[in-house]
């Protein structure tokens, strides 16, 4: 098993580690894009030695094996998930890390609550009145699925 696959498995099974990784990426971003170099630096800060080239080539030119899909998606899937704009969802480097990331960053400004984001500006930046997502962030907390339904991780 490669270090990249171990890293994906660790992120999939440990929500706290995933949150640290996403917060580290947020701190490294300057223009809203995640580069392979940023992903490598963030992984190294968490104790994983993965080169930028490994992140760059993680999905290039090959299909993922069944066990790799489990690590990427957090559960077995028959296919890789793509957002409506054709970008990959669940990639550790680039594009959309989570579906919430898609709702925040999609070019059309679509809101998970339907229609388009209704933006209000405040102390914490631009926020949608309907879904309450911070539009200047990248979905550090996974709170919406691909259908725009709120996800509640708390079990009472």
Q: What is the DSSP string of 50-100?
A: --HHHHHTTTTTSPPPHHHHHHHHTS--SS--B-TTS-BBS-SSSSBSSHH
Distance CA 80, CA 88 (A): 8
H or E element: which one contains 43?
Answer: helix 36-45
Q: Assess whether 124 and 70 both reside in one domain.
A: no
Q: Assess whether 47 and 116 both reside in one domain.
A: no
Q: Assess whether 146 and 134 both reside in one domain.
A: yes
Q: What is the dihedral angle through the alpha carbons of 51, 52, 58, 60, rounded to the nearest 10 degrees?
A: -130
Distance CA 137, CA 27 (A): 10
Residue 112: per-residue pLDDT: 93
Q: Assess whether 150 and 82 both reside in one domain.
A: no
Token pair in block for residue 118:
């209704």
Residue 74: per-residue pLDDT: 45
Distance CA 38, CA 120 (A): 30
Residue 77: per-residue pLDDT: 40
Q: Assess whether 141 and 69 both reside in one domain.
A: no
Q: Which of 92, 103, 90 is nearest to 35 (CA)?
A: 92
- Give the residues of the chain that fall short of pLDDT 70: 1, 31-32, 59-80, 91-95, 137-142, 152-156
Q: Assess whether 61 and 116 both reside in one domain.
A: no
Q: Assess whether 69 and 10 both reside in one domain.
A: yes
pLDDT digits (tens, 9 = 90+) for 126-151: 889 998 888 876 645 557 888 888 87
Q: Assess whether 86 and 14 both reside in one domain.
A: yes
Q: Assess whether 106 and 93 both reside in one domain.
A: no
Q: Assess whether 108 and 47 both reside in one domain.
A: no
Q: Which of 56, 79, 97 is the last residue of a domain?
A: 97
Residue 63: per-residue pLDDT: 52
Q: Assess whether 102 and 139 both reside in one domain.
A: yes
Answer whether 18's CB lies under 8 Å from 30's CB: no
Q: Assess whether 154 and 109 both reside in one domain.
A: yes
Q: Which of 111, 76, 74 is nearest to 90 (CA)?
A: 74
Where in the sequence is the domain holding 28, given as residue range(s)?
A: 3-97
- In the chain, the number of structural domains is 2
Residue 78: per-residue pLDDT: 41
Residue 25: per-residue pLDDT: 81
CB atoms within 10 A of CB 148: 15
């Amino acid at each position: 098993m490669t270090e990249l696959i171990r890293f994906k498995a660790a992120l999939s099974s440990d929500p706290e580690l995933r949150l640290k990784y996403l917060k580290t990426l947020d701190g490294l971003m300057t223009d809203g894009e995640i580069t392979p170099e940023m992903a490598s630096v963030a992984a190294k800060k968490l104790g994983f030695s993965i080169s930028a080239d490994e992140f760059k080539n993680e999905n290039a030119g090959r299909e993922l094996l069944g066990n790799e899909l489990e690590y990427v998606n957090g559960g077995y899937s028959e296919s890789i998930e793509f957002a409506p704009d054709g970008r990959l969802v669940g990639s550790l480097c680039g594009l959309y890390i989570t579906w919430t990331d898609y709702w925040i960053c999609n070019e059309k400004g679509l809101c998970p609550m339907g229609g388009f984001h209704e933006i209000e500006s405040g102390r914490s930046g631009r926020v949608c009145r309907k879904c309450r997502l911070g539009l200047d962030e990248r979905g550090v907390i996974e709170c919406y699925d691909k259908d725009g339904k709120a996800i509640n991780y708390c079990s009472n």
